[in-house]
Amino acid sequence: MRVAYVVGTTTGGTGRHVRMLAGGLVRRGHRVVVAGPREVEEQFGFGEAGARFAEVPVSDRPHPVNDARAVLAVRRTIRGADVVHAHGLRAGALAALAMPRRSGAPLLVVTLHNALTAGGFVGAVYGLLERIVARRADRVLVVSPDLGERMGALGARDVRPAVVPAPPLRAPRRTPAEVRAELGAGDRPLVLTVARLAQQKGLETLLDAAAGPWSGTPPLFAIAGEGPLRGELERRIGAGRLPVVLLGNRDDVPDLLAAATAAVWASRWEGLPLSVSETLKAGTPVIATAVGGVPGLVGDAGILVPYGDPAALRSAVQKLIYDPAEAARWAEAAARRGAELPGEDDAVRAALDAYTRS
């Protein structure tokens, strides 16, 4: 089988997911090409996974001239493919526009990894892209039920859940005591968030919760990640003297998870966040907002709270950090759930099933 993947600008889970699928298909004897921006190949190394890479300048924002060039480049790249699998709304719409209108055209599969959150003109443009994907894709894979309902309402013919596993979690290289000493946590509870510093992640609610009041020693909140909100967050943390440290991008997340009392997400929306999957596999207690695909991912192995409610988030954190027995119970639940999550082979098999015409 000849499979063409189309990706846009990505710095995280989408790129890792495509690399995993490409490598899995190559190992099974399929021919794979990945089309996307040069910087995505440089970050994720699709060529190292055995796929051929074709540079396509997919911009991160709609642009008529650039998008027309991208459509032509995608059309050249997918020539001869049996299946075209685009990841993300932008890449999905470009792939849909690039598809030949003839019998025997490749099967078009689109995986939607994120929800539409922008408003105004950009939101209207993305709404148009959603309709293009819904009406032209043969199959749409979604990371959350709300995305599936939206695509179905827009006319998608075949909507299925996406299987997006977290990569295997390596063992920690440092002891929790060493990590806590580095962060300045001392004997305080350590609450970890792994997230991009962006609007979607609801970090303003996290800071509201961190401000207290606390019924015991205030925990130290550590946020691992980078993004456009760093400056704004730093100003608020400093002005309020909040017990929060910004760690930047880290390559030692397993060490941080092992040292953390709990891991917290205050997100406005999430699909199948790899950071939550990694936390479950690490057996670290999970507290997250009940949005998108999070409830289905976590199941009953974590504490779910409403989005935008700092008091509920703070109450859930206090429930864990001041009661060791409660924390141990949630840690065991997380580890059990982590062991049940799908692996890379499951994801590749699900993709191959989606590539079958029916």
133 occurs within a structural domain: yes
271 occurs within a structural domain: yes
The pLDDT tens digits for 169-191 are: 999 999 999 999 999 999 999 99
157 and 305 share a domain? no
170 occurs within a structural domain: no
For the cut 70, the answer to whether the pLDDT of residue 119 exceeds it is no
Q: What is residue 122's predicted lDDT score, i.e. its pLDDT?
A: 67
For the cut 90, the answer to whether the pLDDT of residue 123 exceeds it is no
184 and 253 share a domain? yes
Distance CA 194, CA 137 (A): 33
Residue 243 sits in a domain whose CATH number is 3.40.50.2000
347 and 286 share a domain? no
Q: How far apart are the first and last CA of the chain?
A: 16
14 and 139 share a domain? yes
Q: What 3-state class would DSSP assign to 175?
A: coil
Number of domains in the chain: 2
Q: What is residue 218's predicted lDDT score, i.e. its pLDDT?
A: 95
Contact (Cβ atoms closer than 8 angstroms) between residue 275 and residue 200: no
The pLDDT tens digits for 4-22 are: 999 998 867 899 999 999 9
Residue 83 makes CB contacts below 8 A (sequence gap 6+) with 1, 2, 3, 4, 106, 107, 109, 355
Q: What pTM did the predictor assign?
A: 0.89
55 occurs within a structural domain: yes
Q: What is residue 130's predicted lDDT score, i.e. its pLDDT?
A: 94
267 and 329 share a domain? yes
Q: What is residue 100's predicted lDDT score, i.e. its pLDDT?
A: 87
Cα distances (angstroms) measured from residue 204 to each of 132, 184, 272, 348: 34, 23, 21, 37
171 occurs within a structural domain: no
299 and 234 share a domain? yes
Res. 63 pLDDT band, cuts 50 70 90 = confident
21 and 76 share a domain? yes
42 occurs within a structural domain: yes
| Overall average pLDDT of the 100-109 stretch | 86
145 and 181 share a domain? no
Contact (Cβ atoms closer than 8 angstroms) between residue 335 and residue 279: no
216 and 331 share a domain? yes
Beta bridge partner(s), residue 86 = 6, 110
Domain hosting 200: range is 176-340
Res. 265 pLDDT band, cuts 50 70 90 = very high
335 and 347 share a domain? no
120 occurs within a structural domain: yes
241 and 201 share a domain? yes
For the cut 70, the answer to whether the pLDDT of residue 309 exceeds it is yes
- Kindly write down the DSSP assignment for every residue of 181-194, as one continuous string: HHHT-TTS-EEEEE
227 and 121 share a domain? no
Q: How many residues does the chain have?
A: 358
Distance CA 119, CA 27 (A): 42
- Kindly write down the DSSP assignment for every residue of 14-64, as one continuous string: HHHHHHHHHHHHHHTT-EEEEEE-HHHHHHH-TGGGT-EEEE----SS--H
State the DSSP code for 8: -
116 occurs within a structural domain: yes
Query: Among 255, 259, 320, which Cα is nearest to 288's?
Result: 320
Q: How many CB atoms lie within 10 A of CB 147?
A: 26
Tokens 């990945």, residue?
34
